[in-house]
A and B are shown apart, each in its own frame.
Chain A
Amino acid sequence: EDQVTQSPEALRLQEGESSSLNCSYTVSGLRGLFWYRQDPGKGPEFLFTLYSAGEEKEKERLKATLTKKESFLHITAPKPEDSATYLCAVPEQGAQKLVFGQGTRLTINP
């Protein structure tokens, strides 16, 4: 069964303190890995798609990287407005659905 596991479940950082979130997956024939940001009570907001090992994407203070088994979302010098839950997802093998991880709840303290 295809699985997506995110760690840590929750992370508290001070403003400016860089860190990384992890997303590990077990799916054969990866057809993309997606990162989303979700604010409380709102729908997920698309951030990045990564398709192949070694690929990197950047947006402001966020950089996503991909290996054959996992993806990292690096956050550099975060600000309080970066506080959110970050979700990753992969298409399930042979099915028209995304398998989501449980998310990492990130809190940036001023």
Chain B
Amino acid sequence: ETGVTQTPRHLVMGMTNKKSLKCEQHLGHNAMYWYKQSAKKPLELMFVYNFKEQTENNSVPSRFSPECPNSSHLFLHLHTLQPEDSALYLCASSQEALAGGSEQFFGPGTRLTVL
């Protein structure tokens, strides 16, 4: 595997379900990010992890819970979501968390549908 991978690629869940999204980067980077992309809206940053420590939470509701066990893996745990949470969830990584404006590399995304 190369670059940034995400699983699953598609997920349909009910509002009472609990599910997790997984991201893995094979680039040797130290920073990882979760973004949400809704139709007709700009990419929206959710969380930033730098060297496994969460350094930014962009006012994300608590029904989204991130986990970063090491610099290569990032999870997004989902529970009691709302239909408006349906979106493309993108993971990205960079050498470090934008200290000098380092490029971010994105995974293919998970298309989430909440019924």
Number of interface residues of B (CB under 8 A): 28
Residue B42 is within 8 A (CB to CB) of chain A in the complex: yes
Q: Which of B98, B101, B109 contacts A51 (CB 8 A)?
A: B101
- How many Å lie between the Cα of A75 and that of B56 in the bound state? 35
Number of interface residues of A (CB under 8 A): 25
Q: Which of A41, A42, A95, A100 contacts B42 (CB 8 A)?
A: A100
Residue A97 is within 8 A (CB to CB) of chain B in the complex: yes
Q: Which of B4, B55, B98 contacts A91 (CB 8 A)?
A: B98
Q: How many pairs, one residue from A and one from B, have CB atoms within 8 Å of each other in the complex?
A: 63
> Which residues from 43 to 61 on chain B have a C-beta closer than 8 Å to any C-beta of chain A?
43, 45, 48, 50, 55-56, 58
Check B101–A42 contact: CB distance below 8 A. no
| Closest A residue, CB atoms, query B55 | A96
14 contacts between A and B (CB under 8 A): A34-B101, A41-B109, A42-B109, A43-B108, A46-B105, A49-B101, A49-B103, A91-B98, A96-B50, A96-B98, A97-B48, A99-B42, A102-B40, A102-B41
- Taking Cβ atoms with an 8 Å cutoff, the residues of A that contact B are 4, 31-32, 34, 36, 41-46, 49, 51, 87, 89, 91, 95-103
Lowest 5 A-B CB distances belong to which pairs? A32-B101, A43-B106, A31-B101, A100-B43, A96-B97
